[in-house]
């Protein structure tokens, strides 16, 4: 057993992190989660850190209930990656043009496309299901008054914060494309709305933390949340798929002579809910800053903008509810990082990477994150490393 088991009010707290390295506020959040009457299990990943209501880096299994704050406000946030036929030898010495082309093709920050991306115009992109997906929009947006023209123009855009697009090299010199993004602001608005709705419900009034408010099965509030939740998760998945198609188009144009081809895209959510069955019981499993790691399942565990990332395969460890970490995990807040580090520190820590090195991304400096190698080592019973990647180009929001 590679995890530490701590006592909890309703269930034990299984920790793949060293408890001595976890902030006191995060430990209190874990103890709070373990008091929920509906909880059936709690697994804590090595990248755990403080979050709204529930920690980032936790897997919470409940029966007949779901906690919106245990999903995360960027519903469906996750990763996509693909190996290409290109090698390091195909890359130019100066990668600034490539970064510029990526930024021109994929809006970053709060940017969006001038016109919605037509999936039918993307090379080899499957268009099945798009009409059905958008036909469900009105039933979702009624909760937050989100405009469909904005939602469609944001499809295929990066967002800001810790989201990124990268060109990476593996240890054999093969070029990989990788990106990290979610449901853009619509997922956050839906999450905030439903957390607020849950806080008002009578059964949540006695909780130790009202941010842990839940929806109960077979209620109108649960039905409304599930409708919006699963739509937002699909939005996030489609958003990443469109971005990856745009990214591949950039690579095809920039490396026309090399005629690049691409393996099958690996994709995984790390802020989401799944219906899963354990020990004969149907459970709602929320992964907030965690990926599914069923036996043989592909996953992506990124580092920060100056460190390595990992392509992994799950080992199917049911003690963790078949889960693994979603990345390195922050070891300090954004404000703390801005106070501690300078642009010179950023330049030093991202040496050799074509990326922004200005004050606007200092809060994403590698030093603000936990060492990714250590995070991987702490979950050797959860995943098997398939490839180790190091970025050469990093586009941030």
Output the known binding site for Mn(2+).
Answer: 74, 163, 180, 270
Find how far residue 145's CA is from the centre of its chain: 25
**Cβ(111)–Cβ(396) below 8 Å:** no
Beta pairing, strands 39-49 & 56-62 = antiparallel
**Cβ(210)–Cβ(198) below 8 Å:** no
Tokens of 8: 């909890």
DSSP-based three-state secondary structure for 48: strand
Q: Compute the CA torsion angle 360, 237, 65, 40 (nearest 10 deg).
A: -80
Indicate which residue of 49, 194, 269, 326 is catalytic: 326
DSSP-based three-state secondary structure for 396: strand
- If we measure between CA atoms, which residue out of 164, 166, 168 comes closest to residue 182? 164
Query: Distance between the two ends of the chain, CA-based, in angstroms?
Result: 39
Binding residues for GMP: 162-166, 270-271, 302-305, 309, 326-329, 396
> Would you call 326 a catalytic residue per the annotation?
yes
Only one residue has tokens 């300078």, namely 342
Q: What DSSP string describes 69-136?
A: GGT-SSTT-EEEEEEEEEEGGGS-S--HHHHHHHHHHS--TT---SS---GGGSTT---TTHHHHHHT
Tokens of 307: 């460190």
Q: What DSSP string describes 200-250?
A: TSGGGTT-S-GGG--EETTSHHHHHHHHHHHHHHHHHHHHHHHHHHHHHHH
Output the CA torsion sign for 161, 163, 164, 169: positive
Distance CA 40, CA 58 (A): 13
Residue numbers annotated as active site:
326
């Amino acid at each position: 057993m590679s995890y530490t088991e701590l006592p909890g009010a309703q269930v034990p707290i299984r920790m793949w992190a060293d408890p001595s390295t976890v902030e006191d506020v995060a430990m209190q959040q874990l103890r709070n989660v373990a008091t929920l009457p509906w909880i059936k299990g709690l697994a804590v990943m090595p990248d755990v850190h403080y979050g709204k209501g529930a920690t980032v880096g936790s897997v919470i299994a409940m029966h007949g209930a779901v906690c919106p704050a245990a999903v995360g406000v960027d519903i469906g946030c996750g990763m996509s990656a693909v190996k290409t036929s290109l090698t390091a030898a195909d890359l130019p010495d100066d990668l600034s043009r490539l970064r510029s082309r990526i930024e021109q093709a994929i809006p970053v920050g709060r940017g969006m496309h001038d016109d919605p991306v037509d999936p039918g115009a993307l090379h080899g992109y499957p268009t099945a299901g798009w009409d059905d997906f958008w036909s469900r929009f009105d039933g979702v947006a009624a909760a937050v008054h989100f405009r469909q023209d904005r939602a469609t123009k944001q499809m295929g855009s990066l967002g800001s914060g810790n989201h990124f697009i990268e060109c990476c090299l593996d240890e054999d010199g093969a070029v990989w494309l990788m990106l990290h993004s979610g449901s853009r602001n619509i997922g956050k608005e839906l999450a905030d709305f439903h957390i607020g709705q849950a806080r008002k419900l009578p059964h949540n009034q006695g909780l130790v933390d009202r941010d842990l408010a839940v929806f109960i099965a077979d209620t109108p509030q649960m039905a409304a949340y599930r409708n919006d939740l699963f739509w937002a998760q699909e939005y996030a998945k489609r958003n990443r798929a469109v971005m990856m198609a745009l990214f591949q188009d950039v690579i095809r144009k920039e490396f026309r002579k090399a005629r690049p081809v691409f393996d099958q895209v690996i994709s995984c959510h790390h802020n989401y809910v799944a219906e899963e069955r354990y020990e004969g019981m149907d459970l709602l499993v929320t992964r907030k800053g965690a990926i599914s790691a069923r036996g043989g399942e592909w996953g992506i565990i990124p580092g920060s903008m100056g460190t390595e990332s990992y392509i992994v395969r799950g080992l199917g460890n049911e003690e963790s509810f078949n889960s693994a970490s979603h990345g390195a995990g922050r070891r300090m807040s954004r404000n703390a990082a801005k106070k501690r580090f300078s642009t010179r520190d950023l330049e030093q820590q991202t040496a050799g990477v074509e990326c922004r090195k200005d004050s606007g991304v200092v809060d994403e400096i590698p030093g603000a994150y936990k060492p990714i190698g250590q995070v991987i080592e702490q979950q050797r019973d959860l995943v098997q490393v398939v490839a180790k990647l190091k970025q050469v180009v990093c586009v941030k929001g």
